[in-house]
Structure 1
Amino acid sequence: MTQRANGSPWWAPARHADRRGFLAARAAVARDLRALFAAAGFTEVETAILQVSPGNEIHLHAPSTQVTDAAGARFTRYLRTSPEFACKKLLAAGEQRIVEFARVFRDREAGDLHLPEFTMLEWYRAGEGLEAVIADTLAVVLAAARATAITTFNFRGRSADPFAAPERLTVADAFARHAAVDLLSTISAGEGDRDRLAGLAAPLIKVAADDTWSDIFSKLLVTFVEPQLGNGRITVLSDYPAPEAALARLSRNDARVAERFELYACGVELANGFAELTDAAEQRRRFAEAMDEKERRYGERYPIDDDFIAAVAEMPEASGVALGFDRLVMLAAGARRIDDVVWTPGARS
């Protein structure tokens, strides 16, 4: 029996009654977002959960399972951390605008904002740039607020007006404003100068001898920058540094930054969007480097999906966003933690 600390399981009628309003809000937000995307010409898709590779990011960890085929052969499949690989294959196939309410899975994550199984709202626009999906993301936030008739998002003592004009801020400007760090001075030719960033960060945080540029960046971001984002109004944080490009292409105007943004409300990251990388060789290189680092840190690595790499080579220019649906509902419903807004929250315990 899965129970909360107070001894009452989530399915106890009294506890369910307490949560019922949040769950009704979830249904209302899902309904209105489906209508929003349908009106904009998106096709809702359903892609497979079991994948050859769950993704190739250093710090994301995926559950795996053994699958047996009809002949009795056994092979490993991973529960996806995102529907991204499958969705991009659909773009390569010719789809133009797609959206998915995807069940995704991540090990080693728990807390008021994390669940091992959650819903990722992910969508893509072929042939359109990052500003188009930034506009989509802001429209999604507004639609969620309207669906629940909430006027202010609140979380851990912070508030944000979803109807106010959003703050637009580059990562470099955010670091300068909130940490007094000249971030771009530590990047050259798409690579981070670890020692220079360590020198700038040393008066502010503890820098370990084996910290990489990305480690130091993340420590500064989490400590000084993220708590200041989405306070009073939504923040769109753009122009991520090139070492943090992930699956985004580098800016055509400045190779020190990538065409990537994140959206915050009340210090909570809600969405992560890219102008998508379509260089297959570069994508393979990034994945290989990431898996080498993952193995160094965690003693594990995930396979590279060769079929995905082949699709990247055929994919049109596109932009896409991954948005934490449960987090958005939590804010729009006025809930205090993410498992208040999922129907069966027991898997975390």
Structure 2
Amino acid sequence: MLDARARLKRVLRDELERRDSLEVDTPALIRSGDFEPNIALFRVSSPDGSPAGSLHSSPELMMKRLLCAHPTLPGIHYLGPVFRAGEAGARHNPEFTMLEWYETGSDLDAAISTTLELIQAARQALDLTPAPVAHRDYGLLFRERLGLDPYHADTAMLQRTAHLSGISVHEPGRLDRDDWLDLLMSTVIEPSFPDDRLTVVKGFPASQAAMARLETIDFEEHRVRVAARFEVFGGKLELANGYHELADPAEQAERLPDPAKSGTDGRSRRLFLEALEHGLPDCSGVAMGFDRLLMWLTEQPTLDTVLPFSERRV
């Protein structure tokens, strides 16, 4: 497994460098960074007990700031550790390895193409044949599996559908509409994906990607606003999440969480928005779970089996 990890890192770096992407470093210790409401950060204290920041859950903000400062770069990538508190289980570990990259002049379809090429190159590096690929629409998946329109169904309907699907929630009143959609996606739809196939899903609701551009699609005789976002699954396992990145600073400011509500000083948010004012080049961005990719490629049942030191062995 150590050999497979090393080979996988090497091929991913080689493939991105072949595209003239530059590997960059970003700080693991950042000031706040509460941009994802469902991700808990590790808080860090100085020796005197005063707050010193948080361990980053993604290099996204810093990488976009680098692109704003150097917009002529064809692309940049990061391969290294990220940290998320409270995430431990068969598919999660509080510290894990992430591959994140940004390609300038790239839209969503180009990002999907790069992602699939990287995964197929990884398979080849581990002496595996190319995996078949299926492209699916988010709305059609919900219609086929659950008989509902995910863009217009209200919270009560989603809750009833979850109940009829055998999903039990301890405090259902604490879940909002997007929580119910995520729950149905992860417990009903994703488990239906074939194990040996790559499944690409597009058409996520606009509310589910605060840092992606928005676009309009046709769904069941309606015009629907969706996020320019995709996810790639290896079998039933989510491997990658990508956006056509939002570059408009005013729109981005409206769609980011209010730092006052999260109890943070908003420094990371402010510096990021100032960078967008300087100008983010047209680009796509993708985050891929390196350990999850290795887990799928080697057909391992848990993340623990592909990590040199998981949480339980540290």
Map of 1:79 onto structure 2: 55
2:86, 2:29 → 1: CA distance? 19
1:59 corresponds to which of 38, 55, 73:
38
Pairs within 5 Å for 1:270-349:
270-288=239-257, 292=261, 303=266, 305=268, 306-313=270-277, 314-346=279-311
Structure 1: which 5+ runs fail to align?
A: 1-21, 152-161, 187-192
2:34, 2:77 → 1: CA distance? 19
Task: Give the C-alpha shift of residue 74 in structure 1.
Answer: 5.1
SS in 2 for 1:262: strand
Given that 1:55 and 1:82 are in contact with CA atoms closer than 8 Å, whether structure 2 keeps it comes out as: no
Task: Give the C-alpha shift of residue 288 in structure 1.
Answer: 2.3
Map of 2:220 onto structure 1: none
Task: Give the C-alpha shift of residue 202 in structure 1.
Answer: 5.6
- Deviation by residue 1:172-227 (Cα, 9 ceiling, x = unmatched): 011111111111233xxxxxx43454466564455733431112112211221111
Given that 2:259 and 2:265 are in contact with CA atoms closer than 8 Å, whether structure 1 keeps it comes out as: no
1:259, 1:230 → 2: CA distance? 25
Task: Give the C-alpha shift of residue 284 in structure 1.
Answer: 2.6
SS in 1 for 2:291: helix
1:194 corresponds to which of 155, 173, 177:
155
Relative distance call for 1:278 and 1:255 in structure 2 (3 A) is farther
Matched, 1:177 2:177: no
2:191, 2:259 → 1: CA distance? 27
1:117, 1:234 → 2: CA distance? 25
Q: Which has the larger radius of gyration?
A: 1
Kindly provide the amino acid, as one letter, of the partner of residue 236 in structure 1.
V
1:180, 1:252 → 2: CA distance? 22
Map of 2:11 onto structure 1: 32
Matched, 1:128 2:119: no
1:290, 1:105 → 2: CA distance? 20
Given that 2:94 and 2:311 are in contact with CA atoms closer than 8 Å, whether structure 1 keeps it comes out as: no
Given that 1:56 and 1:291 are in contact with CA atoms closer than 8 Å, whether structure 2 keeps it comes out as: no
Given that 1:97 and 1:123 are in contact with CA atoms closer than 8 Å, whether structure 2 keeps it comes out as: yes
2:185 corresponds to which of 221, 241, 248:
221
Map of 1:88 onto structure 2: 64
Query: TM-score, structure 2 length as denominator?
Result: 0.87
Given that 1:65 and 1:76 are in contact with CA atoms closer than 8 Å, whether structure 2 keeps it comes out as: yes
Given that 1:98 and 1:124 are in contact with CA atoms closer than 8 Å, whether structure 2 keeps it comes out as: yes
1:321, 1:230 → 2: CA distance? 23
Task: Give the C-alpha shift of residue 338 in structure 1.
Answer: 1.4
2:257, 2:146 → 1: CA distance? 32
Q: Tell me which stretches of 4 or more aligned residues in structure 1 moved more than 6 Å.
A: none
Relative distance call for 1:181 and 1:232 in structure 2 (3 A) is farther
Given that 1:97 and 1:124 are in contact with CA atoms closer than 8 Å, whether structure 2 keeps it comes out as: yes
1:75, 1:116 → 2: CA distance? 20
1:142 corresponds to which of 96, 99, 120:
120
Relative distance call for 1:182 and 1:252 in structure 2 (3 A) is closer
SS in 2 for 1:251: strand
Given that 1:133 and 1:319 are in contact with CA atoms closer than 8 Å, whether structure 2 keeps it comes out as: yes
Pairs within 5 Å for 1:220-239:
220-239=184-203
1:334, 1:320 → 2: CA distance? 27
2:276, 2:194 → 1: CA distance? 33
Structure 2: which 5+ runs fail to align?
A: 218-222
Map of 2:20 onto structure 1: 41
> Percent sequence identity over matched residues?
35
